[in-house]
Amino acid sequence: MEYGSHGKCNFGSERRNGKKKASVLYNVPRSTLRGRLNMKDTAAHPTKPPILNRNQENILVGYILKMEERGLGLTVIDIRKLAYQIANKLGIHGFSEEKKSAGYDWWISYSERHPILSVRKPEGLSAARSSIVANYFEKLGSVMESLGVKDKPQQLFNADESGISTVHNPEKIVGNRGKRGIYAKTSGERGENVTVLCCVNAEARVLPPIIIFKGQRVSEALKVNAPPGSEFGCSKSSFIDSDLFDKWFINIFLKKLPPARPVLLILDGHASHLNFDTLEKAKQNKIEMFCLPPHTTHWLQPLDRSIFGPMKTSYNKQCQKFMRDNQVDK
């Protein structure tokens, strides 16, 4: 036992030496040991309860796993936004109203409470494209079998969106061989993009589209001669978002569906389709959503393969005809 100059036991020195020895022996920084030794009892300070209760969190787990199974796998950011949507729907406050998303700290705690969830890196598509496509058709067949819709084309729907420029792409023209600089007149130098969301079923029934313009308000003049029953919307980029997709889902898809259920809706995995309200309405109306594999839609998306290509060709022809028939001499 070591004593100081006043005859008192030098416990502080022994404690410091003990920490030093333990630090060397177990390769633990002394600052870590010091923090642990000085840490106050936390039992009297319970942690803040989760914003969503266990039942609500389990519902979210079910959505996450089902979306992954259907090919609509969610990222961590998607799940945080979905958690906010659930809380907002239930009138629960606690997530960021500005970002409309749960925080990353919430995700860390949530994933720890539900170890069945794991952040996974998808396999590279180029190295295994054929197996992924085969797996897609195997899963699609299984879903159609379970829903009992294999022989019911009126209950099989495909939806997709495509962008169309207000400045058309001129067709090829005949000119002098060898001449450089062959030009065709268009309506402008640079055009605005317009997005069109279309939906058809397997017996060729076409639903009215939703047409999305860039801006904050849709001019009435832009609605002239649109297909009967069309919906209109606008966004900053002219691209579809979850609110516009939900608008289409409510005002067109649900209203135009046949009474027979269930219905299978095949679409791509664009994040704009991920809206809690839309998923709830789909569940209530016995609508199953199934996603195409990423980076394969140019081969597997029926609308891309058989509708949008001919539509854009016809659009360009009509624009070119309009330019010829309405020439303005300057």
Record the pTM.
0.67
Peptide bond preceding 262: is omega within 30 degrees of 0, i.e. cis?
Answer: yes
Res 40: pLDDT: 46
Per-residue model confidence as pLDDT tens for the chain (330 residues): 444 444 444 445 555 666 677 666 666 677 776 766 665 444 444 567 889 999 999 989 998 888 887 777 788 988 999 999 899 888 998 899 988 899 999 999 999 999 999 988 765 555 456 677 888 889 899 999 999 999 999 999 999 988 888 776 666 555 556 556 554 555 555 668 899 999 999 999 999 999 999 988 888 888 988 999 999 999 988 888 888 999 999 999 999 998 999 999 998 866 556 688 888 899 999 999 998 877 777 778 888 878 888 888 888 888 878 777 776 554
Res 169: pLDDT: 67
DSSP three-state, residue 173? coil
| Distance (Å) of CA 243 to CA 16, 112, 233, 271 | 62, 31, 10, 11
Q: Calculate the dihedral angle through the C-alpha atoms of 136, 139, 141, 145, rounding to the nearest 10 degrees.
A: -160
CATH of 135-170+185-325, one of 1.10.10, 1.10.1200, 3.30.420, 2.60.40: 3.30.420
Res 277: pLDDT: 85
Res 44: pLDDT: 43
DSSP three-state, residue 152? coil
Are 207 and 184 within 8 A, CB to CB? Answer: no
Res 288: pLDDT: 93
Domain boundaries of the chain, sorted by first residue: 1-46, 54-113, 135-170+185-325
Res 11: pLDDT: 44
